[in-house]
Homo-oligomer: A and B are copies of this chain.
Amino acid sequence: MAQRHDFPPLRYVPGGAPAALADGPPRPGGPPYPGSGPRPYGTDGSALTGRTARDVLAAYLHHRATDFLRSLRAHGESGPDAESTREAARQLRSAARRIGGALHTFRPLTDERWADHLRGELAWLSGTLAREHAGTARLDRLLGALQRLTAHTDPNSPTAAAASRDTAEPDAAESLLSTGAARAGALLERQITLARTRAHSAALQALGSSRFHAVADAVAVLASEVPLTATADRPAPDALLPLAEQAHRRLAEAVAALPLARAGQAYNADALAAGSRQDAPWHQVRLLARLSRYAQEVTDPDDTDPRLAEAGRALERHRDAAEAAAAAAAAARTPRIAPATAYALGVLHADQRHEAEAARYVFGRVWLPAPEPGSSVRKG
């Protein structure tokens, strides 16, 4: 835990806003949506009228900090029930991500040094807890895919019954896959279970560490007193909306750089051919979409855009499929595996890259068409 000495203490030390903020938040001019037509992703802000930024942001952080502490308690009390432990960890990560997101988007209204440090610590915690969950989900996904790919070779499955009307004998691919799939599944289970066990130990160790206790203390402070600067005393629409808009604009710009026209053509075969090297911009958009959604939760708690959540889910599926494909490929590099096992892992790898391509296609369908220039998303 040498690393934690690199950070300042997490307790809030009052301090003025940095000089750069004296001019107020960036790009304050103009109403958010001067144009007509379909509303882009962004912020309505009607819930902010008559309130200060401090009221709004403190209330949001207060609620998320309470969620964090409640799920932490639930996690400690959950005992041997794996399901309730997982659910508590999931809620803990959800609260940690939201606090971190709000501190990121509305950073100029906070003590930035404090906010940056807490954000880093929350990301560490959330990442540590996520690894165990990700292992479970990845194994479920891969074993589910293997089952789907070999369902027709099981004579008791409805698919097989329907298929057997066409041909009596399975073909070469099918019989090879049914031989290799069981071993591929066992190999993946062994490798991912090992990684998951390590992740579980790391999570337990993290939750018992003084570094974690410092994070929990800092979050407990948020539940009662949020360290905001004097800028936060301005009217909420003036102080919060431009910062939320900035989050939405960053997302829109990152989406504009994606090859959406290509991804919108079904069966473009890009995700398999290009491999994981071109996944990074999609992963980046997933993070920006999440920040945008959390910013909406602050400014429009009663009117968050369901398309944004749906687009985010498509990109989560993209990430999950891409990681599952990588796990299948990694398993295929195990020394001395049988060719049939390697063959099944190759089919599985391609299937998951295909799933990643499908997720990009869905994202393209869900994403609001780019608004006319000047009518909605303001360019910087």
Contacts and interface: CB of A to CB of B under 8 A. Distances in A.
Nearest to A332: B343
B343 A152 contact: no
A266 B263 CA distance: 12
B267 A332 contact: no
A195 to B, nearest CB: 14
Contacts of A343: 332, 342-343, 345-346, 349
B151 A273 contact: yes
Interface in A274-300: 274-281
B347 A349 contact: yes
B148 A269 contact: yes
Given A274-B163, A346-B342, A176 B351 contact: no
A276 B325 contact: no
Contacts of A328: 173
A350 interface: yes
Interface in A73-130: none
A36 interface: no
A163 B275 CA distance: 9
A264 B127 CA distance: 39
A201 interface: no
A361 B267 CA distance: 9
A136 interface: no
Contacts of A163: 274-275, 277-278
B332 A176 contact: yes
Interface string A332-357: 11000111111111111111011101
A177 B272 CA distance: 11
A166 interface: yes
Contacts of A269: 148, 351, 354-355, 358
B278 A166 contact: yes
A343 to B, nearest CB: 4
B267 A170 contact: no
Interface string A162-198: 1110110011111011000000000000000000000
Contacts of A341: 339
Contacts of A350: 346-347, 349-351, 354
Interface of A: 148-149, 151-153, 159, 162-164, 166-167, 170-174, 176-177, 266-267, 269, 272-281, 325-326, 328-330, 332-333, 337-351, 353-355, 357-358, 361
9 contacts: A149-B272, A149-B273, A173-B275, A173-B328, A267-B267, A343-B346, A346-B347, A346-B349, A349-B350
Q: Which 8 A-B pairs have the closest CB atoms?
A: A346-B346, A173-B329, A350-B350, A267-B358, A266-B266, A163-B277, A339-B342, A343-B346
